[in-house]
Amino acid sequence: MSGVRTQSGIVRISVLLAAIGMSLGVLPAAQAQDSAVLFQNVRIFDGNNSTLSAPSNVLVRNNKIETISTSAIMADAQVINGGERVLMPGLIDAHWHAMLVRPTPAAAIAGDVGYNNLLAAAEATDTLMRGFTTVRDMGGPTFGLKRAIDDGLVAGPRIYPSGAIITITGGHGDFRQLSDLPRTIGGMLSRMEKIGGSMIADSPDEVRVRAREQLMQGASQVKLTAGGGVASPFSPLDVSTFTEPELRAAVDAAANWGTYVAVHAYTPVAIQRSVAAGVKCIEHGHLMDDATARLMAEKGIWLSTQPFLDLAGASALGPAEQDKMRQVVAGTERVYALARKYRIKTAFGTDVLFSKALADRQGTMLADLTRWYTAAEALTMATSTNAELLSLSGPRNPYPGKLGVVQEGALADLLLVDGNPIDNIRLVEDPAKNFLVIMKNGKIYKNLLAGEMKK
C-alpha cells in the first residue's frame, strides 16, 4: 500500500510541476506537441537581410520550415498569432564552454563529475531560454551533455562539440600544479585529462592521437591552443606553443575526417604559424597586427572573436590572470577594427567561463557588437554568419541542414520577439521578457502566447 501511495504522490507532484511550467510559459522538451505549427502575421528577420519582411505566415512541419507566404496558409497546425511581431532565427554562440560556465575553476578541475554534469545541464536549459538555440563548444567534456539534449532528456541548445582542448606542457589548458611535475612520458594522466577537459600533447604524434580521440568521440571540429591564455596559471599571453609540424598533425587528422581545426591564438606569431599549418579558424585574435589581419583575409581564414569590454570575464581568477585579461580587453577595439578593415569572415561568441552572472549577459554581449556594427549586421553575425562557420564541419556536422536563417527548408530554430531587434537590439538583453516564443528543431520550449494559440 505504501508503494501505491508513493506512486500517487509522484503523479501529483509531476502534474503540479507541469502546471507550474505551463504558467511560466516554458514547455518541457518531452511534452507531446502537434507536428505542425503555423506562425501567423509575423514580420521576418531572415538572418541575412537588414530589413523586415511584409506581414507573413510561416508553417513549420516536424523540424523544418515548410512554407513562408504573405498569403494565408491553410494547414492542420497549431496556430500562433504573431500580431506583426518579429520572427527571427535562433541565436548561435560560436565560442561557448558548456561544462565550464557555472563551476569555479577549482570545481571544474577537482569537483564531482556528476554534480558538474547536472550543473551544466541546468545551464544548458538557461542558455536555450536566452534564445541561443545553437552553440559551438570550444573545449570541455560535453559529449554526454550533447547526447542528453539530443535525446530529449535535457532542454538545451544544439552543441557542436570540440571535446578536450589540446594543449602543450605549460600551455593554455594545462591546469596542473608545479607539484605534478615532472611528467612521466607515457605515464598517468592529469585530472583534466581524465575527465576530458584538456589533453597535453608535446609532439606531432601525440597531437595526432589526441585529435583522433576527440573525433572518435564525436567532435565536430578540433580545438588546439596555439598561444598563451588568460585563465591558465602558467601560460603567458605572448607565448607561442605548438610548432608548425604539431599544428599540421592536427590539421591533417581533422581533414581526414572531413572537418577542420580551430585554435586559440592572440598574437601575430601564434596566428601566422597556425595559418601556415592549415588552420581554418582563429579564436580570439585580440593582439593581432595589421599584417596578420591582412593575411587572414587573403587566405579566407575565419576569426571567431568576442567583444570583451571589461574584466567581468576574469572576476573568478587571480591577479595575474586579471592582468592578462586587461591586455585582451585593450585589444578588443583593434581586433574589430582590423576585422572590418580587411573584411575578415568574423563570427560572434562570448567565451563565458566560471560565472552564471556573466552567462546571463550573453545577449548583452551580442548587443555590444553595435560599437562596431549595425544592429542588423550584429544579428546577422549571430545567426547566418555563425551558421556558415558551423558548416565547415562538413560530414562531421551533427545537425545536417540549414541553420541561422528563416527560409523554406531550413531547420526550425525560431524566436518570436516582442519588438523589432533591428531598431532596438537591446531587446536581446532581456530574453525572459522579450522572447515570447522559443522554438528549436520544430519544438516549442517557451511560449508566453500560449493562451492565444488555437488549432
Greatest Cα-to-Cα distance within the chain, rounded to the nearest angstrom: 77
Strand stretches in 277-412, DSSP E: 281-284, 302-305, 346-348
Cell numbers 541575412 correspond to what residue? Answer: 48
CB 381 within 8 A of CB 373: yes
Question: Which pLDDT does position 231 carry in this prediction?
Answer: 82
Burial class (CB in 10 A: 0-12, 13-18, 19+), 263: buried
DSSP state of 257: T
| 244 Cβ contact partners less than 8 Å away, ≥ 6 residues apart | 273, 276, 277
pTM value is 0.90
CATH class of the structural domain 91-372: alpha beta
The region, left, alpha or beta by phi > 0 then psi within -120 to 50, assigned to residue 409 is left
DSSP state of 35: S
How many CA within 13 A on the CB side of residue 302? Answer: 25
Please calculate the CA angle 221-224-225 and round it to the nearest 5 degrees.
Answer: 145
Find, among 91, 151, 145, the residue nearest to 390 by Cα.
91
CB 255 within 8 A of CB 199: no
Find, among 48, 135, 46, the residue nearest to 87 by Cα.
46
CB 172 within 8 A of CB 47: no
Q: CA–CA distance from 224 to each of 19, 58, 75, 263, 352 (Å)?
A: 46, 41, 49, 5, 18
Retrieve residue 339's grid coordinates.
576585422
| 10 Cβ contact partners less than 8 Å away, ≥ 6 residues apart | none
Burial class (CB in 10 A: 0-12, 13-18, 19+), 51: exposed
Helical segments of 25-66, H only: none
H/E stretch holding 37 reads strand 36-44
Nearest-angstrom CA–CA distance, 250 and 260: 9
Nearest-angstrom CA–CA distance, 302 and 278: 12
Nearest-angstrom CA–CA distance, 131 and 451: 21
Fold of 33-88+407-452: Urease, subunit C; domain 1 (2.30.40)
H/E stretch holding 249 reads helix 244-256
Nearest-angstrom CA–CA distance, 324 and 321: 5
Find, among 92, 91, 86, the residue nearest to 44 by Cα.
86
Question: Which pLDDT does position 148 carry in this prediction?
Answer: 98
The list of the chain residues with pLDDT below 50 reads: 1-24, 26-33, 455
Helix 244-256 and helix 204-217: axis angle, to 10°?
30
What phi and psi values does residue 200 have, to the nearest 5 degrees?
Answer: -95, 130
Q: Report cis status (omega within 30 of 0) of the bond before 182.
A: yes
Instruction: Give the three-class secondary structure for 260.
Output: coil
Q: CA–CA distance from 7 to each of 15, 17, 194, 347, 354 (Å)?
A: 12, 15, 39, 50, 39
Q: State CA 450 to chain mean position distance.
A: 28
Handedness of CA 414, 259, 294, 327 (dihedral sign): positive
Instruction: Give the three-class secondary structure for 119.
Output: helix
Helix 290-299 and helix 268-277: axis angle, to 10°?
20
pLDDT digits (tens, 9 = 90+) for 238-276: 999 999 999 999 999 999 999 999 999 999 999 999 999
Helix 319-330 and helix 332-341: axis angle, to 10°?
30
Cell numbers 607565448 correspond to what residue? Answer: 239
